[in-house]
Structure 1
C-alpha cells in the first residue's frame, strides 16, 4: 500500500474506532466515555506556497490565544526548514527530528516562548524527515498523546505546498486554516492544495485567512475569488476567518526576532491577530469538521493499532 492509501485508511479506521469506542465505553452516570481525556483543539495552519507569512501567523496567533488564557503549543512541522524558533528569537538544543528518530521524548524538546506559549521546534537543513514514513507518523501520534502538558490548543505550522508531510499534518488536525495572500499565485496554489485534500483525503471544511492585505475589502475579494473557484468544482465548505493587514511594524518585529503582538501590541497587525484569536476561540467544538480522534488518541486506540511498543 502506498502512503496515500495508508493515510486514508488510517483516518478511516480511527473514525470507526472512535464510533465503536464511544458505543462500548459509556459512563452509566454521565453517558460520556470513561477514558475521554480533556479535549485539545488541533489546528493546522498551511498554505499553497511559501512567502505568504504563514509562520508569522502561527506565532502571533498562538501568543494572542495565550493572552486570552489558553494554553497553547506550537508544533513546527516544516521538518526541513523550520523557522518558528528563529522568528521568536529562541535557541533550542533539540528538535522534533530527535523525537522522530527515537532519541528523545516530545516533552524533552519543548521550549517555552513569549506569552507563555510552548514550542516544539523543527530541525533545519535536514532532509531525512521531509517525507515521514509510517513508523515516524505513529511515533509522533504516540508522543503527542503521552504529553503531560495541560493544553487547550495545538497549532501545527506545516510546510508550504502539497508534499505528503503537508497532507498528513492537515488530515491529522481537527481544523485546517489556509493562509492566502492577494498574490494570484498564492490563490491558485491554495486552490490546488484544497482540491487535493478534498478529493484524495475527503477533507470538506477549510478556514481561510487572508494575509498581507491593505484593507478588509481586498481580503474579501481574495476570499470571493477562492470561494467562486471551489464552489464550481468542489463539494466543500470555506469559512472566512478574517484578515491580517500589511504592517511595517510586523516587518520591524521580524527583524528583532520578536512577535509583533508582543513588541507592538497596538499595531494594525497586532489588532488583527487579537481579533483572529477571539474568532478562533469562539468556534465551538460542535462546529469542528472532525472529531478529536487523529491526535491525542493513544489511550483509547493504540492497542488496536499496535502502538504500545513505540
Structure 2
C-alpha cells in the first residue's frame, strides 16, 4: 500500500461486548509494530474507553476541540505502544451525536494532520445510532466484529441492513471473535452470510479471520495493556497479527487527494446528502 494513500477503516459492531475496542487497539498495535504510521480515533464519542484499555489518561480529547477551540495536534496522544490516538470523552451527553458545525470543526482540524499516515482506524460505537452510521459511511473498509452469541449476529445483521437499505453500503469485512476454533468461526460467519443473502441483495461479506477465545485477553484488559504487547505469543495475539497482515494487503482506494482530508470531506458530503 502506498504510504501517501491512507487506509481508513472502521472497526464496528452491532452490539457491545464483542471485543470491538480491544480489536481496534490491538490491530493498531500490530500495524504499528509492523512499521506503519497509525492513528486510532475513539469514535464512541460519549462512552469512550480506548484510553481505559490502554491504561493512559490523556488530559485533552475531542470535547476540547468542539468546546474549547483546542487544536488537533494538542489532542493527538502518543501512546507508549507506537501509535497515536484521538481520544474521546466519556459520560458527556452532548457528544453522543455530532451536529454539522462539529463535523466542520473536525474537517478543519484534520486538515492540519500530516500526509504520512498509513492507517486511520475508527473505533465506532456499537449499534445503529447516528454516530455509528456516520463514521461507517465515510471509511473505505468496514471491519465488523461478531461473536457466536445469537444477539451479536442479529444486531450485526441490523447494522448491515440499515447501512445497505438507507445508505447503499454493500461491502463489509467480518472478524469473528471469541471462538474455540476455525470451524466454529466459519459456522458463525455462514449464519450471518445466509441471513444477508436471503434478505438483502448485493451484500459482500468477506471473512477476514477469527480470534480464538483466550483467557490472556481478559488478563491484559485487567492490566490495561494491549494483549498483543503483554502476551505476544498467546493464540489471540497470533491471530490479531495475522489479521493485521491481511489488512496490510488491502489497497487504499484512489478517491483521495493524497491525505486524510478526504475522510472528513466524505463525512460532510454524506451529511448533506442525508439532510
Per the TM superposition, whether the score is higher than 0.5 is yes
Gaps of 5+ in 2: 270-275
Q: Is the 8 A contact 2:212 2:236 kept in 1?
A: yes
Structure 2: distance between partners of 1:238 and 1:204: 8
Q: In structure 2, how many angstroms separate the alpha carbons of the residues matched to 1:298 and 1:80? A: 21
Contact 1:176 1:205 (8 Å CA) reproduced: yes
Residue in 2 aligned with 1:291? 255
Aligned length: 263
RMSD (Å) for aligned C-alpha atoms: 2.1
Distance 2:51 2:225 in 1: 10
Misfit runs of 4+, over 4 Å: 298-301
* 2:127 is the counterpart of 1:161: yes
> How big is each residue's C-alpha offset from its partner over 1:27-66, in whole Å with a ceiling of 9 and x where there is no partner?
xxxxxxxxxx921111011100000000000000000011
Structure 1 143/216 Cα, relative in aligned 2: closer, same or farther at 3 Å?
Answer: same
The Cα shift of 1:114 comes to 3.4
Which residue of 1 is the match for residue 273 of structure 2? none
The question of whether the paired residues in 1 share the 8 Å contact of 2:110 and 2:264 is answered with no
Mark the runs of 5 or more structure 1 residues left unpaired by the alignment: 1-36, 305-310
Indicate if the aligned counterparts of 2:7 and 2:251 stay in contact, CA closer than 8 A: no
What displacement does 1:291 show?
A: 3.2
Alignment of 1:273-288 (within 5 A): 273-285=240-252
2:175 pairs with one of 189, 202, 209:
209
Matched, 1:239 2:217: no
CA distance in 2, matches of 1:142, 1:256: 36
| TM-score, normalised with respect to structure 1 | 0.81
CA distance in structure 1 between the aligned counterparts of 2:140 and 2:66, rounded to whole angstroms: 22
What is the alpha-carbon distance in structure 2 between the residues aligned to residue 299 and residue 73 of structure 1? Answer: 15
Point out the structure with max Rg over C-alpha: 1
Find 1:271's aligned residue among 231, 238, 251: 238
TM-score using structure 2 length = 0.91
